[in-house]
Structure 1
Amino acid sequence: MTREPERLFRRGADYQSHRPDYPDSLFATLAERAPARRRALDLGCGSGQACRALEAHFDQVLGIDVSLEQLRAAPPGRAHYLAARADALPLADASLDLITVAQALHWFPLPAFFHEAGRVLSPGGVLAVISYGLCTVEGLEGLVEDFHDRTLRPWWPAARWQVVEGYRGLPLPWPERSDLATAPIRRHWGWRDMAGYLDTWSALVTARAAGEDPLAAFLPTLRERWGEGKRTVRWPLRVRCCARP
């Protein structure tokens, strides 16, 4: 039988392989807004997707997550990875120029995290909350949405809907900047790519822990409807950012 740490490590590697990357232009813009380019932190970094993108723009990049299994799946690079909580960061006061939180803010204890962000960011340091909503598949509108909204609804945490809505109802600790334009993330995928992406959804981890596997039941429909060709998949990218006074 597979041991739990091995299974979780494989999940971390799958997350890295199947999640869509963020556009480099996003991190270039955030770097321009930061007061300096000394040090950036991606908090809730998982297997390091945003960290890799930040490496091109900052002298030092840190990735922090509570999951050692996810951190072990991060590929080699310049970033340094630490296991820690969002409300107890092992960092000096005013030591960061940028904090990014990608698809993870709903897991953090608020407002304790915002207090920590204010402590570790330098004056003018930027906090950027990044999320991409539910994807759409060209020619199969409604298929993935129905799987997400109806089939998996019992297995999503209540806070999941904050991610889907781009955290728009969540107050930020400082005045928000609203002039950052973003274009959708696009990928050209086959049905197997989509299956790999769906398999990274946390709702499936919860369902399988309860002895159910909704994805296994959905895959025949996905394959039949998708066909063997490629389809364009789009995710709406949303960024909310503010700067410490």
Structure 2
Amino acid sequence: MTHRLFEGKDHAASYWKYRVSPSHNLLQQVLDFLEKKKGRPFELAVDVGCGSGQGTVVLAKYFASVVGTDVSPAQLEMAVQHAKEPNITYKQCVAEELPFADSSVDLVTAMSAFHWFDRPRFLQEAHRVLKPRGCLALLNYTVDMELSYPDCCSHTLNQICKEFYAALQPYRSPHLGQNSIELYRESYQSLTYPDKEWQEGVWDRKTMPLSNFIGFLESFSFYQTMLREDPEKATRLSQDFCQRLMTEMRVTSADTEVVVAVKYYYLLACKPQDA
């Protein structure tokens, strides 16, 4: 079953404020694959495990209709609050039981969510709802993000980041194994679709305030687990992390903008015409 770890209202608000969505360039690779394999028109996209809806919103300009689904009412409430596009709707459901007819969906996406699903059941369900030549896109990023700031040693900044990531590691869910990328690789290898692609090491650079970068990391499941188990330890870790970075950057405000390089990997697959 889908793991339910992101359902608190505070966590949902943090998701909306800090979580990043795939860049236009990354999304374009998904759309190019869909156009090459299925062709237009792009009618219905379903964004599974949509959280607070950042990825759903990005899809809206390319499809006649986009539906975001999530198991969490709090996440969907946040998504609905920020949904301005008239062609977006949201539905509460588990990833393994999608409320769509057989062969009705052009694109099924899961952005930084697939690792929480019952993966074999979800893949069967995605197969059921996809149209012939419809496509599946599973995207995620690694925790090993890289930070850079002008006139500052990036190696030192990233060493501080690595120490922060290492402190969170004991709070990582055992469901994810040692590295989430292996779960995606295994699924890619097990998919019997002849038309499929695997990419990793796709860098996406974003400029944001340092405070947003830290908020982004604090929205991760293992930080939230630490926060629940030992709030004082989690808060101290985050504050010390921020102070060390500011000291190294020689700045006094966490509003200072930094460049964050996020490393993505993704799986694209096309349902066969005769499946």
| TM-score, normalised with respect to structure 2 | 0.78
CA distance in 2, matches of 1:106, 1:144: 23
Q: Return closer, same or farther for 1:209/1:165 CA change in 2, 3 Å cut-off.
A: same
1:111 aligns with 2:120: yes
For 1:135-181, what per-residue CA distance to the aligned partner results, in whole angstroms no more than 9, with x for missing partners?
Answer: 11122012222222x21122111306443568224335224533768
Instruction: Summarize deviations over 1:5-35 as a string: whole Å, max 9, x none.
Output: xx92232122111112211233333233322
Give the 5 Å matches for 1:43-192.
43-74=48-79, 75-76=82-83, 77=85, 78-134=87-143, 135-138=145-148, 139=154, 140-148=157-165, 150-158=166-174, 159=176, 161-163=178-180, 167-170=184-187, 171-173=189-191, 174-175=193-194, 177-178=196-197, 183-192=202-211
Over 3 Å counting, the alpha-carbon distance change for 1:208 and 1:218 in structure 2 is closer
Question: Percentage identity across aligned positions?
Answer: 27
Counterpart position of 1:210? 229
Q: Structure 1's 31 and 167: CA in aligned 2 closer, same or farther, altered over 3 A?
A: same
Match of 2:264 among 233, 237, 240: 237
Shift in CA distance, 63/161, structure 1 to aligned 2, threshold 3 Å: farther
**CA contact 2:201–2:264 (8 Å) conserved in 1:** yes
More off after superposition, 150-159 vs 90-99: 150-159
Are residues 39 and 172 of structure 1, via their aligned partners in 2, closer, same or farther at CA, if it must alter by over 3 Å? farther
Classify 1:143/1:165 alpha carbon distance in 2 versus 1 (closer, same or farther; 3 Å): farther
Runs of 5+ consecutive residues of structure 2 not aligned to the other structure = 1-6, 149-153
* Deviation digits for residues 104-155 of structure 1 (CA, Å, limit 9, x no counterpart): 111111211111111000011111110111211122012222222x211221
**Equivalents in 2 of 1:164, 1:145: separation in Å?**
18
Q: Distance in 1 between matches of 2:159 and 2:184?
A: 22
Work out whether residues 226 and 234 of structure 2, in 8 Å CA contact, stay in contact via their aligned partners in 1: no
The aligned length equals 238
Which residue in 1 is equivalent to 2:218? 199
CA distance 1:162–1:94, shift in 2 (3 Å): farther
Which amino acid is the alignment partner of residue 136 of structure 1? E
Structure 2 letter corresponding to 1:84: C
What amino acid sits opposite 2:207 in the alignment?
H
Q: Distance in 2 between matches of 1:69 and 1:237?
A: 26
In the alignment, structure 1 residue 42 sits paired with structure 2 residue 47: yes
Higher helix share: 2
Deviation for aligned residue 1:196: 1.3
TM-score (norm 1): 0.87
